[in-house]
Amino acid sequence: MTRPELASCTVVSVVAHSLLKVVTRRHSPNKREHSMKVSPYHSSNPSDPDVHHDHSDCPTGQQIPERNKVSGTGGFPRCKQCIAKG
């Protein structure tokens, strides 16, 4: 007797695994002491936090897929992590 729940469970773990690979992908070997300041950008996805970023290495900003990245502040306040970076 087959269990359909088991099959969907496998799919979820495969997806999670490939996501993990993307997240742990290494950047250039050159270590930068200072974070890169860039022109403001935000996400066009309404489910993302209503903030804008101005650092290229902001962990929240890096989660925005390239297709959702919009330049400008979008009228949103600055991201707390970007503020902390200076």
Residues in contact with Zn ion by the rule CB under 5 A: 53, 58, 60-61, 79, 81-82
Residue closer to Zn ion by CB (options 19, 83) is 83
Quick one: the chain helix, strand, coil %, rounded to 5? 40, 15, 45
For the stretch 31-55, what's the b/e string if a residue is b when 16 or more beta carbons lie within 10 angstroms of its beta carbon? eeeeeeeeebbbbeeeebbebbbbb
Shortest distance, CB of residue 32 to Zn ion, whole angstroms? 16
Shortest distance, CB of residue 12 to Zn ion, whole angstroms? 29
Residue closer to Zn ion by CB (options 5, 66) is 66
Residue closer to Zn ion by CB (options 12, 84) is 84
Amino acid letter, residue 59: P
